[in-house]
Amino acid sequence: MSMKSEIYQDINENCDIILNLLKSFEAENDTPEGRMIYQCRWLKEQVEANSLSLPTQDYIHTLRYVLAEQLLHHLASSEENYQKEIGVYLYRLAKSIKNKLLLKLEYYPYALRIIDALVFLLNNASRELDKYEKGLIGELERLQYLLTSGEIEPPLMSYMPDYPNFIEVEGIQRITIDDLPDGKVLYRTVANLIFEGIRPDSWLTPEDADRETKKYTTDFDD
């Protein structure tokens, strides 16, 4: 499957999920629910016609606004369940429209491999780590456990409140471990996989992901 075909499929599937969540509402311009129905129908029509240009920022104002303002929050079974019941599908749809490949279950082993590589890098750093970089190790190991046990399903969409060291290591102007070999690329890949729910463009198939991630495992496999 080509990258475009997979992304089109993801757009279609997430639109279907959102439309199902909104099945008791009418399509209309006076409510966020109604506008979101129109938005999803339009996206599905464009995908079916093979005419949706990617990435696109045109004609998706409703999606961006509903996602940013959490205007469908009231549809969740509880406040704490909004993200996993509704927000995650809006977020995945928004990422797909930006021409991003979503992280899926078959790619979890390679996500774990990248986390392993980053943990190894930090544990074997050639300089003293600061307190946030040391704290990042614990957060990474927690993510490994949660992903392996099925207790989380990316995207997590936010570092807070459980992963404050990710914020500090990412920094304002630069990633603080960018002086370590592959530090920046490993950090950014992990952050994208877990918190954004997207995988690198080069991971088009599991075989591609296997090949791409093996190059980071040489040191700790030997």
pLDDT in tens, 150-177: 999 999 999 999 999 999 999 888 999 9
pLDDT of residue 58: 83
pTM of the model: 0.93
Whether residue 133 is found in the same domain as residue 198: yes
Whether residue 88 is found in the same domain as residue 21: yes
Report helix angle 108-123 to 183-191, nearest 10. 140
Q: How many domains does the chain have?
A: 2
What average pLDDT does range 106-129 have in this prediction?
A: 97
Q: Which of 100, 135, 162 is the last residue of a domain?
A: 100
Can you tell me the distance from the alpha carbon of 48 to that of 52, in angstroms, rounded to the nearest whole number? 9
Alpha helices in the chain (DSSP H): 3-21, 32-48, 61-69, 82, 88-97, 108-123, 131-149, 164-170, 183-191, 206-214, 218-221
Can you tell me the distance from the alpha carbon of 105 to that of 126, in angstroms, rounded to the nearest whole number? 34
Q: Which of 79, 100, 121 is the last residue of a domain?
A: 100
Task: Say how far residue 18 (Cα) sits from the centre of its chain.
Answer: 18
Whether residue 70 is found in the same domain as residue 133: no
Q: Would you say 53 and 45 are in contact if contact means Cβ atoms under 8 Å apart? A: no
Whether residue 175 is found in the same domain as residue 135: yes
pLDDT of residue 220: 56
Q: Which domain holds residue 96?
A: 3-100
Whether residue 49 is found in the same domain as residue 124: no
162: CB partners within 8 A, 6+ apart: 139, 142
DSSP annotation of 77 reads: S
Q: How many residues does the chain have?
A: 222
Task: With cut-offs at 50, 70 and 90, classify the pLDDT of residue 1.
Answer: confident
Whether residue 215 is found in the same domain as residue 120: yes
